[in-house]
Structure 1
Amino acid sequence: MLVVPPPDFSLSPYTGLTRSHWTGYADYLLRSAQRFGTDDHANIYLPGANSRYGPRSDSLEAFARTFLLASFRIAGDPLNTGWIADWYAQGLDAGTNPANPDRWPTPGELGQAKVEAASLAVGLALTRDVLWDKLPHRVQEQLIAWFETVIGEEYPPINWVWFQIVVETFLASVGGRYSDEDIDAGLAIHDSLYRGGGWFADGPERAYDHYVGWAFQVYPQLWALMAPNDPRVAARKQLDGDRLADFLDDAAYLVGANGAPLIQGRSLIYRFAAAAPFWVGELSGHTRLAPGLTRRAASGMLDYFARHGSITSDGLLSIGWHGEFAGMKQAYSGAGSPYWAAKGMLGLALPADHAVWTSVEAPLPVELGDTQRLISAPGWQMDGTQADGVVRIRNHATDHANVGVAAADSPLYARLGYSTHTFPDLTSESLDNGVVFVDSKRGQTHRTGFEYLGSGSVGGVQVGASRFTANWIEPDPAAGPDHGSGVSGTATPGPVVTVVSATRGAVELRLVRIEGAGSSGASLRIGGWPVDAGSSMVSSVREVPGFGSALVESGTFVRPGAHPMGSELTIPWVGTSGPAHDGDYAAVVILAGEGGTSPDAGVRYAGGRFEFPDGTRISAEILARFGA
């Protein structure tokens, strides 16, 4: 059972969580998972769905990812974690014993094992004197031989390159074979994916998500701890440290007062793994955030998910966001996959007397006041509101694709907006934060492949824009597994659309210019934020009287049935009463929580200027600014 002390609101005034709470949750997760381990501890067969790679892969994944959590516990408290070290030592032996019929597949035999090998290597490096050094020579040799199958293997040019780097770096530290060429090639790919301001793209596409933090920022710092005497580490220390610090400056603004990280991007079933870059900033010393703010952000995430049922009655992490939700399963997701949430417990590797544990929690930016921030690489304009604690982004440069690609919209990347309090509609064809054309035969259009037109700030209003050809997509049934990108298919082009988002707090003025509507006969729909019907969150969309063409139709789309944060999704919309024509349209799109902006707040238009509810004004010429 879960054993934690009462909340301590003196040390942790926002969450009540201290290091003792973190260790309590960690031990509970470890003991619960171990109940499903084999007698020799080599594999953990958790209940639930398998990934496309099958149970042999999934049971290794469960072992490796819980071992990563175990290694953080051992590293931060070696004297009181012998029971953890002993359990996993047996599994490390049995899993790599060639004579064991239930041994692990090697990274040379199974692609997913390349991922899990990295968790094993990092964990062994962090606990070397407690675990590795005490393993029998035979077991060390088995592990070295198992790890060595990564040498010369091909890794996709995404965050995966770090799995090879850390494994071969560990091999070098224990006398195994390794390849400097592999390490150098991986570092080169890593650098090629850097997009500035601390942000990486997870591949050659515009794929910005939590992998920026829990992979591209975490692994360079763990690698540096693994090989402090490697000349490459010394040469990169300042570079990688500055990138991490820059990223954390943005990341602190992307956590809601409810503790939730931004709900955007793939692999969200890893949940509080989003806390990992905050912890690694303290572990490496490359952060400008106060220790109390670091713990506030990380503890907020753990508390958020614990309060919302992410841990089942069996003490397991399910596939989902709050509780279990099978619709979030991606092709590579198995029952052990959610345990990459272990990365978010990296702070346990820091001892109890570290400042990150002893400092009083400090407030998040959104708890200090209303916030605005332009994050250039992913093309996000962030607005946080202190009254309701909601953080929102409006998105004009992220779609997990490249300019000109005609594909269905990825629900977790291509929407115009994401927040810490709403979950995207997981259906690709959706009104969710959309500007779409609706045809009774062809359905709704998609925006993937759009052109980012830039962003900036004008008199306290943030402005961003993009332009796209609205495509109807007939999905290809053989498009392959879902790894984040929208489904490919046959595209039928529609009008060209320019969208400008002018935002101030909870209020977005969404300006739309249509060109080439011709005889398409399709209606325009401007959709708002997706909220659960039973939620206290309020989503509204209204037209702006007096500007451009009329938006006389309105309604609320309802998607019945469970979704990751509730039981019925609702999306308000406004649109044309018939076919849309070339010209300009404007709507006010609002997302607000309790105590926040009224859903009836409007934006007035008069004399060539828009006026926000608080009196802030902006010229209608912002459309022209972006070439519209």
Structure 2
Amino acid sequence: MSPSAITSRTDLVALADALLTAVRPYASAHHARIALPGTPGGYGADVDALEGYARTFLLAGFRLAGDPGEDPHGYAEWYARGLIAGADPRSTERWVRPSEHPQAKVEAASLALVLDLTREWIWDRLSPLEQEHVVGYLAEVVGDETYPRNNWLWFRVVVQTFLRSVGGPYQLEDIRSDLERHDEFYERDGWYRDGDERAYDHYAGWAMHVYPTLWSRMGSAGDLAAPRAATDRDRLDRYLRDAVHLVGADGGPLIQGRSLVYRFATAAPYWVGGLAQVPSVPLGQLRAAGLASVDHFVRRGVPNERGLLDLGWLRPWRPLAQRYSGTGSAYWASKGLLGVALPSDHPVWTAPEHPLPSAEEDSTLVISAPGWAVSVPSSDGIVRVANHGTDHDVAGSEAGDSPLYARLGYSSATAPLLDPTAWHAPTDQSVVLVDAEGRRSHRSGMQTLTVQAGDGVAIAASRATAHWLTPDAEQMNHGSGWVGEAELAGTITTVSVLHGPWEVRLVHADALVPEALTLEAGGWALADDAGVHAHVSGTTVELSTTARSAHLLGVTGWQTSRLHHRDGASPLGAHAAVGVLTAPAATGWYALALSLTNLAAAPQLQPPAVDLTATHAHITWAEGTSSTVGLPPPPAPSPTDPGHDTTPPTPGSIHY
């Protein structure tokens, strides 16, 4: 149903057509509801069918806009029939309305965006009564104050901007207040939080940057968009300078954050960067990033054998989705095909070739807003991130760690373990305190100490008040960590030093409660249907699959190692394994090294040597270069609670 590779606009268009025609057999008589096969999502079959229509309508709109006047598959007429039936409150195919279910507010934005984008082919051809029904449906969002404080603000902005253009009801104050809220979520260096929490993920690109650019081009947005156009473009430009480094050489995105079932929606900000013609990132590189992000999935069997997008990654895997995800949800991947809205003569298609950073040179950088140190060696093109500032929570929180956000490491080649155990007992990419009952501590609420890069290394560090969690019986499962009753375990300071495929991780334990018996550190989780080969010896764990290799080496302070095995815990394979280092919990510094690379490159890996003193870590890398990292001083005890640090960290307290 789709091309075997995505290397051009022609390929992208062919994929869009294949996706759009594949859903037609699942449409209702008048096309308003597209009920795709599978288990209904947490919001029910009616919402699923609305998503099936609205999210494929988004793709149809991009397709029509990119080749104006050409519609060989009759998308305009086909979707217009569905629009008429869905918006008519008396129709047997009528949609769930925004006043009836919050998810309809999300889908209303796709309707409005496409109606504006394709005005002359769909909206202008509706009868006055049909237009009235559509306006009535969309108008239910006007004045609605129940929108969550996150990227949803753009759904209200887009809908009311369209209503404004067609003489419908709108409240200018709604739009202005939402734009102000959007700016409140701006952190720095082009990065937005998805709300008030430290929620840094793909929403920063496919929502917080995509919508401002598309909205500014809507029919009645001009006077509102003009005063902020330069700022929005500058922020998008700065974001993309980081984002292009987060695409692996194989096109794989960073497997981190919620809504990963949207897959190649990760390509959306690159196409928007091309649409805005940002100045700092070559258009040829944006094209390469967009095409590679889509191609990564298409080459690996997406869409499925029926030509559909299911809930999963490279194949169906329901645990990757959130509770709200349904059978039509995955079609937000349509955003990643936004490139088809750019006509064939657009500069993004005619600009000279420019490779991705991951395929061109070794990259070592930091992204300060989310607290990430990043290393992408050209030898394997795998993106590795050490995370010291993202947890989908706020500083000082005592919630549980979300595997999607709060792990110490993420990559474009591995996925965090996502079985139920992973939500209350962190193992992979975690440093935890363990008590006699086997409870494993959480780091959510940690404080970032520093992010800095230079001389071929990237450094990030954080300090966490480690806590055990007794989870509440009911959990929301919207991507953030579990909530419950927290119990103090101690303080853990972690420093990550990245260079090539290696990370040296320095760990300091302090303010330990008597119940904290063991300190454990987990490495990369590898997964494969064929199983994971493991070799465990002393304080060394070597893992390999048919494609990847990972090493975990205890350097200082560790006594033993073991293998943690899980089945059905990863979207990348049926069997997953993680190496774990163990030591008695004691105050002081520990050091370990961990690597991740392609299997072919593994035999050439030589581990770094680490000399750890009371104040510095001296690291000698395999090629002979060295780094000296100053260790942060231990936290000062609080006068009211000698065992619990309340002293804010000092930014930049680490040097090398």
TM class by smaller structure: over 0.9
The reply to whether residue 605 of structure 1 matches residue 610 of structure 2 is yes
SS at match of 1:216: coil
Structure 2 counterpart of 1:450:
446
The reply to whether residue 23 of structure 1 matches residue 30 of structure 2 is no
Partner Cα separation in structure 2 for residue 463 and residue 503 of structure 1: 6
| C-alpha contact (below 8 Å) 2:433/2:518 kept by paired residues | yes
1:72 is aligned, of 59, 62, 73, to 62
| C-alpha contact (below 8 Å) 1:380/1:396 kept by paired residues | yes
SS at match of 1:530: strand
1:571 is aligned, of 549, 574, 578, to 578
Structure 2 counterpart of 1:511:
506
1:537 is aligned, of 544, 548, 555, to 548
The 5 Å alignment of 1:166-185 reads 166-185=158-177
What TM-score does the superposition give when structure 1 sets the normalisation length? Answer: 0.94
| C-alpha contact (below 8 Å) 1:273/1:342 kept by paired residues | yes
Partner Cα separation in structure 1 for residue 156 and residue 307 of structure 2: 32
The reply to whether residue 347 of structure 1 matches residue 356 of structure 2 is no
The reply to whether residue 153 of structure 1 matches residue 144 of structure 2 is yes
| C-alpha contact (below 8 Å) 1:592/1:599 kept by paired residues | no
Partner Cα separation in structure 2 for residue 238 and residue 309 of structure 1: 40
Structure 1 counterpart of 2:649:
none
Partner Cα separation in structure 1 for residue 61 and residue 372 of structure 2: 35
Structure 1 counterpart of 2:101:
110
The reply to whether residue 560 of structure 1 matches residue 567 of structure 2 is yes
SS at match of 2:274: helix
Partner Cα separation in structure 1 for residue 431 and residue 302 of structure 2: 33
Structure 1 counterpart of 2:86:
95
| C-alpha contact (below 8 Å) 2:503/2:593 kept by paired residues | yes
Structure 2 counterpart of 1:10:
none
Partner Cα separation in structure 2 for residue 109 and residue 367 of structure 1: 48
| C-alpha contact (below 8 Å) 1:540/1:599 kept by paired residues | no
Q: CA deviation at 1:519?
A: 2.5
| C-alpha contact (below 8 Å) 2:365/2:453 kept by paired residues | no
Partner Cα separation in structure 2 for residue 595 and residue 614 of structure 1: 19
Structure 2 counterpart of 1:11:
none
Closer/same/farther in 2, CA of residues 344 and 565 from structure 1, 3 Å limit: same
Partner Cα separation in structure 2 for residue 460 and residue 28 of structure 1: 44
Closer/same/farther in 2, CA of residues 347 and 458 from structure 1, 3 Å limit: closer
Q: CA deviation at 1:19?
A: 1.4
The reply to whether residue 331 of structure 1 matches residue 338 of structure 2 is no
The reply to whether residue 269 of structure 1 matches residue 269 of structure 2 is no
Q: CA deviation at 1:518?
A: 4.7
| C-alpha contact (below 8 Å) 1:539/1:571 kept by paired residues | no
Closer/same/farther in 2, CA of residues 423 and 500 from structure 1, 3 Å limit: same
Amino acid at match of 1:614: E
Partner Cα separation in structure 2 for residue 300 and residue 518 of structure 1: 49
| C-alpha contact (below 8 Å) 1:465/1:626 kept by paired residues | no
Partner Cα separation in structure 1 for residue 170 and residue 38 of structure 2: 37
Structure 1 counterpart of 2:300:
308
Partner Cα separation in structure 1 for residue 289 and residue 520 of structure 2: 37
Closer/same/farther in 2, CA of residues 606 and 194 from structure 1, 3 Å limit: closer
Structure 1 counterpart of 2:461:
465
| C-alpha contact (below 8 Å) 2:401/2:481 kept by paired residues | yes
Partner Cα separation in structure 1 for residue 207 and residue 434 of structure 2: 39
Q: CA deviation at 1:430?
A: 2.6
Structure 1 residues 101-132: Cα deviation after superposition (integer angstroms, max 9, x where no partner): 32012212210000000000111111111211
Amino acid at match of 1:43: R
Partner Cα separation in structure 1 for residue 612 and residue 447 of structure 2: 30
Amino acid at match of 2:292: G
Q: CA deviation at 1:188?
A: 0.9
Structure 2 counterpart of 1:364:
356
Closer/same/farther in 2, CA of residues 160 and 541 from structure 1, 3 Å limit: same
Q: CA deviation at 1:309?
A: 2.2
Partner Cα separation in structure 2 for residue 54 and residue 313 of structure 1: 25
Structure 1 counterpart of 2:539:
none
Q: CA deviation at 1:538?
A: 1.0
1:492 is aligned, of 470, 474, 487, to 487
Structure 1 counterpart of 2:123:
132
1:34 is aligned, of 24, 33, 37, to 24
| C-alpha contact (below 8 Å) 2:551/2:596 kept by paired residues | yes
Structure 2 counterpart of 1:257:
249
2:227 is aligned, of 224, 235, 240, to 235
Amino acid at match of 1:407: A
What TM-score does the superposition give when structure 2 sets the normalisation length? Answer: 0.90
**Can you give the 5+ residue segments of structure 1 that lack an aligned partner in the other structure?**
8-14
| C-alpha contact (below 8 Å) 2:63/2:341 kept by paired residues | yes
1:122 is aligned, of 85, 88, 113, to 113
The reply to whether residue 616 of structure 1 matches residue 625 of structure 2 is yes
What root-mean-square deviation, in Å, do the aligned CA atoms of Structure 1 and Structure 2 show?
A: 1.8
Q: CA deviation at 1:478?
A: 2.3
Percent of counterpart pairs with the same letter?
Answer: 43
Count of paired positions: 611
Closer/same/farther in 2, CA of residues 607 and 308 from structure 1, 3 Å limit: closer
Structure 1 residues 513-540: Cα deviation after superposition (integer angstroms, max 9, x where no partner): 1112252252111111111123421111
Structure 1 residues 236-263: Cα deviation after superposition (integer angstroms, max 9, x where no partner): 1101111111111111000000101111
Partner Cα separation in structure 1 for residue 295 and residue 461 of structure 2: 36
| C-alpha contact (below 8 Å) 1:561/1:567 kept by paired residues | yes
Partner Cα separation in structure 2 for residue 196 and residue 70 of structure 1: 34
| C-alpha contact (below 8 Å) 1:380/1:393 kept by paired residues | yes
Structure 1 counterpart of 2:636:
none
Partner Cα separation in structure 2 for residue 607 and residue 212 of structure 1: 38
Amino acid at match of 1:561: G
Q: CA deviation at 1:328?
A: 1.3
Q: CA deviation at 1:387?
A: 0.6
| C-alpha contact (below 8 Å) 1:388/1:595 kept by paired residues | no
Is 309-318 or 68-77 further displaced after alignment? 309-318
| C-alpha contact (below 8 Å) 2:264/2:293 kept by paired residues | yes
Structure 1 residues 329-380: Cα deviation after superposition (integer angstroms, max 9, x where no partner): 2111000000000001111111112232234542100111110111110001
| C-alpha contact (below 8 Å) 1:511/1:623 kept by paired residues | no
| C-alpha contact (below 8 Å) 1:393/1:419 kept by paired residues | yes
Amino acid at match of 1:538: S
Partner Cα separation in structure 2 for residue 44 and residue 536 of structure 1: 38
SS at match of 1:188: helix
Partner Cα separation in structure 1 for residue 402 and residue 231 of structure 2: 33
SS at match of 2:520: strand
Q: CA deviation at 1:502?
A: 1.1
| C-alpha contact (below 8 Å) 1:518/1:581 kept by paired residues | no
Structure 1 counterpart of 2:398:
406
Partner Cα separation in structure 2 for residue 541 and residue 600 of structure 1: 12
Partner Cα separation in structure 1 for residue 279 and residue 108 of structure 2: 28
Partner Cα separation in structure 2 for residue 43 and residue 607 of structure 1: 63
Q: CA deviation at 1:146?
A: 0.8
| C-alpha contact (below 8 Å) 2:215/2:221 kept by paired residues | no
